[in-house]
Amino acid sequence: MEFNIITLFPEIIDFYCSSSIVGRARKNNITSVNAINPREFTNDRHRTVDDTPYGGGAGMVLMCDPLFKAIESIEKKQNSELIILTPGGETFNQNMAQEFSSKEQINFICGHYEGFDQRIIDGLQPREVSIGDFVLTGGELGALCIIDAVTRLLPGSLGADESTIEESFSEDLLEYPHYTRPAEYRGMHIPEVLLSGHHANIAKWRKKQSVLATIKKRPDLFEKFRQKQLTKEEKEILKEVEEIIGEE
């Protein structure tokens, strides 16, 4: 998987993508990450990438030419996606991460400050993606969120002990609570079952906790889960959880 990021701040990308799991995937050649600065594609003394808006108003607007040339410098692969990060785009989610993880190449355009010339969208036809209903100063954090979420889905990027995909059951549910040593901390004890060594009971307890957390924190996700084809075991857990909820 090749990620190319057009950004005025390549150091932001390089720093994040050299750390932790994303950095390791890159080192192991599961991904390559290249930040490309549109300033490299300017000809004037000041290496200008933005200008005042036509029609007046505050702020500066990213110009077409350095952006187009930066995009054209990338050797486009067949199975590639061009994304522009903008608060007005479709909101990024796990399904999109799954979809992007099957690409050979993802190219990102990061806007900054006030915005970019509309002809970048009209001429390059990127997919417009937002990472949430808030306004950032630039698209870099958005690109990093997508790179991170996609990288961890690529085969080999997570070690066996880091994998969070625990069968289909957990896909539409929140995670169960985790605990590590010590077994008692400031008077707070870990659930007994986790000390029992009984793997089947522990697995069932975890699934139940996942369902409970989802009902309480994300009823919208839970509704989606309930609509799914559930296994006999899942139906059983659901019944038990609904009894607990009914009693609360």
- Using CB under 6 A as the criterion, which residues of the chain lie in contact with ligand ADE when the complex forms? 85-87, 130-132, 134-136, 139, 142
Could you tell me the two tokens for 199? 């793997």
Could you tell me the two tokens for 240? 């038990």
Residue 38 or residue 238: which is nearer to ligand ADE going by CB?
A: 38
Q: Residues 218, 174: contact at Cβ < 8 Å?
A: yes
Residue 126 or residue 139: which is nearer to ligand ADE going by CB?
A: 139
CB of 126 to ligand ADE, least distance (A): 12
Q: How far apart are the first and last CA of the chain?
A: 48
79 vs 31: CA distance, rounded Å: 15
81 vs 67: CA distance, rounded Å: 16
Residue 112 or residue 206: which is nearer to ligand ADE going by CB?
A: 112
Residue 108 or residue 176: which is nearer to ligand ADE going by CB?
A: 108
CB of 245 to ligand ADE, least distance (A): 34
How distant, in Å, are the alpha carbons of 50, 150, 154, 169, 240 from that of 203?
56, 27, 26, 11, 15
Could you tell me the two tokens for 86? 């903008």
Residue 4 or residue 130: which is nearer to ligand ADE going by CB?
A: 130
Residues near 217 by beta carbon (within 8 Å), at least 6 away in sequence: 174
CB of 246 to ligand ADE, least distance (A): 39
CB of 183 to ligand ADE, least distance (A): 42
CB of 130 to ligand ADE, least distance (A): 4
